[in-house]
Amino acid sequence: MAKKRLGNQTIELENSPVIISACSIVGPKEGDGPLKDYFDKILEDDLFGEDSWELAESKMVREVIKMAIDKTDYVLNQVDYIFAGDLLNQLMSTSFAVRDLKRPFFGLYGACSTMSEAISLASMIVDGGYSDLVVAATSSHFCTAERQFRFPLELGNQRPMTAQWTVTGAGCSVISSSGKGPKIKRITTGKVIDRGITDANNMGPAMAPAAYDTIKTYFDDTKDEIESFDVIATGDLGIIGGQILLEFMQKANYDISNVYMDCGIEIFDHKRQDTHSGGSGCGCSATVFNGYIYKKLLNKELNKVMLVSTGALLSPTSTLQKQSIPSIAHVVVIEN
């Protein structure tokens, strides 16, 4: 077995790469939610001065990376790799954003799991000695996602109570081989899990089994204690999916309910903001992690965190072809 592996699916980062900086940008609705004080920038309008929502999302990616680097002693030109992706077909917002940044780029697609996918790969590359400075970023935008995955916004389509609300936001972590900040310790990479859910308006239940599989595997692989965590944060299972995850974990004798949170549940005030089962989108765990959780790690309110971004890998084509929803979740463990 390769020397840095632990159990079946987990690796240990011997050199503990550091998240030396993190940054988040959100839209007006997210900036009106319960976590508003933790975001670095709140847009006044979701076009961000651009001609289309797609270009606005792209601008968020570009700006969040620049702002995250500006918080460090480095300049953009010293970044060796950008690991990034988004929900749009052919990663439109990311591709156009990194074009202007002129740094080597690995494009990723993990649906809403992209934040922990990007941090996983970025940390391994730094830990392995291939770079001292890497960026991991992702984004989503309510308006680009709605028209791509669902209906034109102009239609004013009614949404079922199981639906989630795609977060308008972008988040970025800057990962370095040295410096001050919380450290990335372990990574458990998820498998694609599909339990046969076909309702694209109810993605929490599709993703919960994937989150369950990767979180349980982490504890099986490492023999770590649930109680040692201050927070176990899933990406965007929402109210329905989060409940299913907790039940699955309890049935397997892993009760995480005392330390559990879901970024999609925390980001909105669901009754007041009419967001139904919760927030979703790559930008959901990206902004909650790089905004809220990172700041709590910095001020030591939190000292050991598991981030589990969760992704539903469906497409409009697969839905039309009556396929079920494959899902994935990646675990990243961060400690002070």
CB of 162 to its own copies, least distance (A): 20
Distance CA(52)–CA(46), nearest Å, equals 10
Total site size for its own copies, rule CB under 8 A: 65
Question: Which segment (25-33, 47-55, 245-253, 280-288) binds its own copies by CB under 8 A?
Answer: 47-55
- The reply to whether 135 sits near its own copies by the rule CB under 8 A is no
CB of 308 to its own copies, least distance (A): 14
A 10 A CB-CB count for 276 gives 20
Q: How would you label 240-263 residue by residue, b for 16+ Cβ within 10 Å and e otherwise?
A: bbbebbbebbeeeebebeebbbbb
- The reply to whether 313 sits near its own copies by the rule CB under 8 A is yes
- The reply to whether 9 sits near its own copies by the rule CB under 8 A is yes
Residues, the chain: 336
List the one residue out of 136, 72, 129 whose CA is nearest residue 103: 136
CB of 240 to its own copies, least distance (A): 22
Distance CA(116)–CA(102), nearest Å, equals 23
From candidates 21, 189, 275, 277, binder to its own copies by CB under 8 A:
189
Q: Give the residues across from 26 on adjacent strands.
A: 42, 169
- The reply to whether 121 sits near its own copies by the rule CB under 8 A is yes
- DSSP E strands in 34-90: the ranges are 41-42, 81-86
- The reply to whether 235 sits near its own copies by the rule CB under 8 A is no
- The reply to whether 321 sits near its own copies by the rule CB under 8 A is yes
Residues 90-119 that bind its own copies (CB under 8 A): 90-92, 95-96, 98-99, 101-111, 117
- The reply to whether 5 sits near its own copies by the rule CB under 8 A is yes
Q: Give the residue with the Cβ less far from its own copies, 150 or 296.
A: 150
Distance CA(161)–CA(275), nearest Å, equals 9
> CA separation (Å) from 37 to 20, 31, 175, 298, 315?
20, 8, 24, 15, 34
CB of 37 to its own copies, least distance (A): 34
Residues 6+ apart with CB under 8 A from 201: 159, 160, 162, 163
- The reply to whether 290 sits near its own copies by the rule CB under 8 A is no
CB of 10 to its own copies, least distance (A): 10
List contacts with its own copies (CB under 8 A). 1-5, 9, 11, 51-52, 54-55, 80-81, 85, 87-92, 95-96, 98-99, 101-111, 117, 120-121, 124-132, 148, 177, 189-194, 313-318, 321, 323, 326, 328
